[in-house]
Amino acid sequence: MITAPFRNFLPEEPPSSIAFRDVIFGALGIFVVFFILFITHINPPAKKDDGDITSPGNVIIKVEWPGKLDIDIDTWVWLEGEPRPVGYSYSHGVHVDLLRDDLGLTYDETNEKFELMIVRGTIPGRYIINIHCFSIKEYSSKIASEGIPIKVLVERFDGNSSHTIIYSNSVVLKEVKEEKTVVVFELDENGTVVRNSKATNKFIPLAGRKTINPQFLLKEW
């Protein structure tokens, strides 16, 4: 450390040396900036093993209805091979899970009303997707005349970011305990919908079934 009395005896740096030093430091700064940009650019994208989560299920069923009224809609799904349909009273099957049972406004102050069901793995076989009106605690003239519009989306994910929409439409329920089969379809070993297997004009009751006779259901197909 140079103390104050000796500072005055140091030779003064010529202006050309100061300019040269500034040029060197400026060039070094530009090099550092370009180096950082280069490293960032060539950094490879994260692999799936690095924590990238693809999808919670291979078939996902989303059900949504207007949220301002106190209405409880239930989703019921039966996949061929499951011992019974999966719904609010039996929420976890062999491959099928009900992740969210929406109860209307009970325990929920948001205006978002939706249920979410997933099927884990690419499971070949027949699928039945039903919706059921469990309760309407708030009636309105619009419900009485037009019913409750319920959007249903069925998608299949193949393990990465791509997906296929199997079904997307709106179905109307008008009264408590009313149930509708939204869609039935069959997937092959590759997860592709079997040709001519998809139907939207059948009704196969599922809600609350504790036992199931596959032969009976498949006869209804």
Residues that bind Ca ion in the complex, under the rule CB under 5 A: 72, 74, 101-102
Tokens for 141? 């003239």
- Taking the complex as a whole, the smallest distance from the CB of residue 88 to Ca ion amounts, in Å, to 6
Residue nearest to Ca ion (CB): 74
* Choice between 66 and 214, CB closer to Ca ion: 66
* Choice between 97 and 158, CB closer to Ca ion: 97
- Taking the complex as a whole, the smallest distance from the CB of residue 115 to Ca ion amounts, in Å, to 6
- Taking the complex as a whole, the smallest distance from the CB of residue 105 to Ca ion amounts, in Å, to 12
User: Listing from the earlier edge strand, what are the strands of the sheet with 96-100?
Assistant: 96-100, 113-119, 59-65, 148-157, 163-173
76 closest CA partner among 221, 207, 213: 207
- Taking the complex as a whole, the smallest distance from the CB of residue 201 to Ca ion amounts, in Å, to 25
For residues 181 and 128, is the Cβ–Cβ distance under 8 A? Answer: yes
* Choice between 64 and 82, CB closer to Ca ion: 64
d(CA 81, CA 101): 23
* Choice between 72 and 82, CB closer to Ca ion: 72
d(CA 221, CA 204): 8
- Taking the complex as a whole, the smallest distance from the CB of residue 104 to Ca ion amounts, in Å, to 7
204 closest CA partner among 186, 187, 184: 184
Q: Parallel, antiparallel, or unpaired for β 113-119 and 148-157?
A: unpaired
- Taking the complex as a whole, the smallest distance from the CB of residue 90 to Ca ion amounts, in Å, to 13
* Choice between 123 and 148, CB closer to Ca ion: 148
* Choice between 48 and 92, CB closer to Ca ion: 92
For residues 95 and 120, is the Cβ–Cβ distance under 8 A? Answer: yes
